[in-house]
Structure 1
Amino acid sequence: MAQPSFADALVIQGQKDQEASEKAIRQAKRANAWMVVYRIMVAIAVLLIGSAITIATVYIGREYHNDSQNKAIAARDEEIARNYSKAQKNALLQAARDYNKRLFENPRAIGAIVDPFTNKPGSFNGNDDKEYHHILNAPGDTMAVLTIPKISVKLPIHHGADQDQLENGLGHLPGTSFPVGGKNTRAVITGHSGLPGKTLFTNLPDLRKGDLFFVTVAGETLAYKVKWIEVVLPTNTKVLRIKPGKDLVTLLTCTPYGINTHRLLVTGERTKWPLYTAAPALSPSVDEIIMYTAATILALWILLLIFHRRYVLGHHIRRYYGKPWNLRKPVRSWKHEESVVNPIAAGMPHVATPALNDDQ
C-alpha cells in the first residue's frame, strides 16, 4: 500500500489540528458555562441555607412558646381534675353565671379608657373589681382555654387584658361576661398579633363566617360558630355590649398587621357540637424542625459537591485549553506540552495543499 505523500500528510495533520482546536473550544465553552452555573448555585445555596436557619429559628422559638402555653393548659387541667369534684366544678361555673347575670342587669365599663395594645397609661386588668379575680381562678390565673382548629390555636385565657396577660397567652376583657355560656352573655377574648416568636392571634384574619372555635372551662367545652367579622376603631366599645338573648364570644386583636390602628372583632354565636370537627393542625415539633433543616442543608451540600466537581473539571479545562473568548492563544493539550495554533482563529485560510509529485 502506497504511503501518503508529504503534502497529503500536511493536510491530514492540519485537519487533525483543526479538529483538536475546535474540540478544545467546545470544552472550554462548556467549562465556562459550568463555572457560571456553579457560582450561581453557590449564591442560591448560601441564600437557601441562611433562609432555612432563619425560618427554623423562628419556628423553634414559636414551638418553645407553644410548649410553655400547653404546659400551662396541662397544669390547669391536671389541677382541676385532681383537686375539684364535680360539685366544685359546678360551683365554679355557677359563680361565673351569677356574675354574668349581675353584669347584664348592671353593665360595667368595658376595660378602661385606654386599650391594651397602645402601651399608654391605663389598665385592663380589672383591679377595681375585687370579685373578678376570684371567679374561675385556676392555677396560673387561667380561667379557660380557647381552641380554634382552623388556625391551629390552643391557648389559655387569663384574667385581665394588660401587657402581662397578653405577652403570655390571651386575655379576658374586664367588664364583659365570663366565657361560661348562657343567654345574655358576651365574653371578649383579646390577643396580640405579630409578636416575634409567638403566633397568638396573628392568623385570626383567616377566619370566615361559619368557622368554629371552642372554649373549655371547668371541664366543659362550648362550641361557637363565627357569625360577624368587623373592623372598628379602638374607642368603639359599644360593639362589645351584650346582645339580649344571645350567647356570644368575641375574639379581638389589633389590625392591620404592623400598623394596629383598628381592632378586628370576630364574634361567634353558641352552636351545637357538630358531628365532625377537624382536629387542630399540629405544629411541627422542635426535633422535626431541626431534622427538616438538617436535611435541607445536607441536600444543598451534596448539590454543591456535585457542582464543585464540575467546577474543578472546568478549571482544568480552562487551564489547558484556554478561554473560549481568547482563541488566538495557543491551545495546550492535556497530554502534550507543545502548542497548537488554531489556523482559523489566527486568520489563516484553511485550504487543501495541492499534492506534490515525488519528483517535485
Structure 2
Amino acid sequence: MDAGISECNSGWQCNDGGIGSCCQSIVNALEKRKKEMLKRQKTGRVAQKWKHWCGAALLLAGCLIFFSPNLHQQYQDKRIQKEIAEFHMQSEPEEKSDLFGKIQRYNQELFESGQNCLYEPAYVEKAPEIDGIVSDKMFGYVEIPSIDCTLPLYLGASEEKLNQGAAVLGGTSVPIGGNNTNCVIAAHRGWKQQVYFKYIDALKHGDCIIVTNPWERLEYVVSDIQVIEPDEIERIKIQSGTDQVTLITCHPYRSSGKYRYVVSAKRKETGTVGVSEAGKKVFVQDNESAQNCIRTNSDQTIWQETKIRYAGVAVLAGFVIFTVYRNVKGGKRKDAENRACG
C-alpha cells in the first residue's frame, strides 16, 4: 500500500490500479465529456445558423414569387414604351402615303370578298401581302385607358406575335379606319406573368379604345360586348357601312379558350348613340341577346389567383418566423443547461 501511494504521489501511476489510476480515469472522462459538449455546442450553433439562413432564403424566395408578376410587368411596360418610341421615329408620313392607298384598296377588296379566308386557321396567322408592309415589325399600338392597357400591334396573329403584344387577325381589316372596315385585334388573356387582355371584361359600353397606326391616331368607343363560340366567325366580320375595331380574347380567364370574349367599338365620330332618361349619353348595344352569357365573369377567378399568392406568402412567412423563434428559444435553453453543467 505504501509503495502504491508513493508512486501515486510521484505521477499518479499505480501499478496495482490504485487511487491514482481511478482519479486519472475520472479526469480523462471529464475532459472527454467536455470536448464532446463543446463539439455539440459548435455543431448546434452551425446548424442554427444554417436554419436561420435557410429560413431567410425561403422568405426571400416567397417574396420574389409574390412580386415576380409585378416586376415582370414593369419590365414589359418599359419594353413596350421603348418599342413605341422607336415606332414613332421610324419614318415620315409622306414616305407612307403610297402604302396607305394600297392598304385602302386591300381593305375594300377584303370587304367585297366576304372574308371567307377567316375560316382557314393558317390564314389568320398571316400578315396581308401588301408591298411595303414588313410582317414582323410593329404596325402601331393599341391603348385601352379604362383598363390601363397599352400593347404593340402586329399584323398577323401568329403565336410569336401574340407573345409580343396584340395582333390583327389575318383576313380582317388593316387598322387605318374607313368605311366598311373591322380590324379584329387579338391578345392573350394574361400570359407568362404579363397582363395583355386579362381585365378585358372590365370594359363597359362607352369606354374608349385608341389605335395608333403610322399615319394617325384613331379613337373608337365600345358599342357591343359578346361572348361567342370559337367557331362563330360571322360575329367578327365587317359590318357594312361601319368603321370599327374588335378586341377578342379567350373567356373565361384560365379556361383554356372555351369561349371568346368580343368587344366591338365604333369610330368615335360615327358611333351609334342614344340618350338615357337622365340625359347621359349611352352607346347602344348591337346584340342584346349576347348579354345573357357575358356574366360568366372572370373577376372571381382573378381574385382567387391573387388570394393564393397572398396566402402562400403568409404561410411561408409564418413558417419562417416559427422556425426562427423555435431555434432562438432552443439555443437559449441549451446555453442555460451548459452553464449549469459547467
- Taking structure 2 as the reference length, the TM-score comes to 0.59
* RMSD (CA atoms): 3.6
Partner of 1:30: none
Query: Does residue 200 of structure 1 match 2:196?
Result: yes
Cα deviation, residue 110, structure 1:
4.3
Kept after mapping to 2: 8 A contact 1:76/1:138: no
Kept after mapping to 1: 8 A contact 2:180/2:241: yes
SS in 1 for 2:230: coil
Partner of 2:143: 147
Partner of 2:126: 126
Which letter does structure 2 place at the counterpart of 1:72? E
**Counterpart mapping for 1:72-151 below 5 A:** 72-80=83-91, 84=92, 86-114=93-121, 122-126=122-126, 130-131=129-130, 134=131, 137=133, 140-151=136-147
CA distance in structure 2 between the partners assigned to 1:176 and 1:140 by the alignment: 17
CA distance in structure 1 between the partners assigned to 2:197 and 2:186 by the alignment: 8
CA distance in structure 2 between the partners assigned to 1:211 and 1:79 by the alignment: 30
Cα deviation, residue 71, structure 1:
2.5
Partner of 2:15: none
Kept after mapping to 2: 8 A contact 1:143/1:159: yes
Partner of 2:168: 172
Change (3 A) 1:130 1:89: closer
Select 1:52's aligned residue among 54, 63, 69: 63
**Counterpart mapping for 1:169-318 below 5 A:** 169-258=165-254, 259-272=256-269
Kept after mapping to 2: 8 A contact 1:149/1:213: yes
Cα deviation, residue 69, structure 1:
2.7
Which letter does structure 2 place at the counterpart of 1:65? Q
How many residues align? The count is 237
Kept after mapping to 2: 8 A contact 1:92/1:218: no
CA distance in structure 1 between the partners assigned to 2:184 and 2:134 by the alignment: 19
Which segments of 5 or more consecutive residues in structure 2 lack a partner in the other structure?
1-55, 271-312
Cα deviation, residue 195, structure 1:
1.1
Change (3 A) 1:99 1:140: same
Kept after mapping to 1: 8 A contact 2:153/2:166: yes
SS in 2 for 1:243: coil
SS in 2 for 1:196: coil
CA distance in structure 2 between the partners assigned to 1:139 and 1:123 by the alignment: 13
Change (3 A) 1:232 1:47: farther
CA distance in structure 2 between the partners assigned to 1:226 and 1:51 by the alignment: 40
Kept after mapping to 1: 8 A contact 2:135/2:154: no
More moved, 184-193 vs 66-75: 66-75
SS in 2 for 1:79: coil
CA distance in structure 2 between the partners assigned to 1:165 and 1:156 by the alignment: 10
Partner of 1:348: none
Partner of 1:71: 82
Larger proportion of helix: 2
Kept after mapping to 1: 8 A contact 2:125/2:170: yes
Partner of 1:8: none
Partner of 1:25: none
Which letter does structure 2 place at the counterpart of 1:269? K
CA distance in structure 1 between the partners assigned to 2:202 and 2:227 by the alignment: 14
CA distance in structure 2 between the partners assigned to 1:230 and 1:51 by the alignment: 39
Kept after mapping to 2: 8 A contact 1:193/1:200: yes
SS in 2 for 1:141: coil
Structure scoring higher RCO (CA < 8 A, sep ≥ 6) equals: 1
CA distance in structure 1 between the partners assigned to 2:212 and 2:263 by the alignment: 18
Cα deviation, residue 66, structure 1:
3.0
Change (3 A) 1:111 1:142: farther
Question: What percent identity do the matched residue pairs reach?
Answer: 27
SS in 2 for 1:92: helix
Partner of 1:350: none
Cα deviation, residue 264, structure 1:
0.7
More moved, 45-54 vs 141-150: 45-54
Deviations 1:22-52 (A, max 9, x none): xxxxxxxxxxxxxxxxxxxxxxx99976543
Kept after mapping to 2: 8 A contact 1:111/1:125: no
Which segments of 5 or more consecutive residues in structure 1 lack a partner in the other structure?
1-44, 115-121, 274-295, 321-336, 338-360
Cα deviation, residue 157, structure 1:
1.1
Change (3 A) 1:112 1:163: farther
Which letter does structure 1 place at the counterpart of 2:205? K
Kept after mapping to 2: 8 A contact 1:70/1:155: no
Cα deviation, residue 183, structure 1:
1.4
CA distance in structure 2 between the partners assigned to 1:64 and 1:139 by the alignment: 25
CA distance in structure 1 between the partners assigned to 2:237 and 2:101 by the alignment: 22
Kept after mapping to 2: 8 A contact 1:231/1:263: yes
- Taking structure 1 as the reference length, the TM-score comes to 0.56
Partner of 2:24: none
